[in-house]
Amino acid sequence: MMFLVGLAFGLNNGAWAENKACTLATPAELKSALGLKIPTLQEQKSGSDDESICTGHTSGGVTVILRLAKRSNAIGETEATGAKVAKNLGFEVETKTFGPVTCSTMKPGPRIASYGLNTTCSVLKNGQVAAIEVIAVNPRDTVSIDKLRPLAEKMGERF
């Protein structure tokens, strides 16, 4: 699933000195906004020097991923490509845009149900894109766009 969200990050070459994704939201903010208790956020190794990734997990199996990356391509172009790829793989995709914030939900079809339900919001600012992604295997743990968008907007103020 993470590869689909990775499509939303058009990356430039260069050095990304430190992992800044973990500064985009705190576990307390995640709990307040999403109703999810994420005990800790951990830096992850990215495949690019221009991207930082931070993850957290609930005891119930929900994964939250924070990303920050340099953006090199046109707004909307990569998101449309990602949605098309997801649909071709069998996901039902809904996308909404709110100014610089783009959110989507991806619900897997029956043959790919094990991928879980995904809600992602990203915000573009100053040649960078920050995103928060919530992956839930159990439908009852799904986070709506309406819950996730305000947190993405807050993240946009931090980079």
3-class SS of residue 83: helix
Residue 125 belongs to domain spanning: 2-156
Helix axes 27-34, 145-156, angle to 10 degrees: 150
Cα 38 to Cα 6: distance, rounded to the nearest angstrom: 22
Which neighbouring-strand residues pair with 101? Answer: 98, 123
> The domain that contains 6 carries what CATH number?
3.40.1000.70
pLDDT in tens, 18-44: 568 999 999 999 999 888 888 889 988
Cα 94 to Cα 16: distance, rounded to the nearest angstrom: 31
pLDDT in tens, 61-104: 899 999 999 876 555 566 677 778 888 877 888 999 999 899 99
Number of domains in the chain: 1
pTM: 0.81
Rounded to 5°, the CA angle 154-143-149 comes to 25
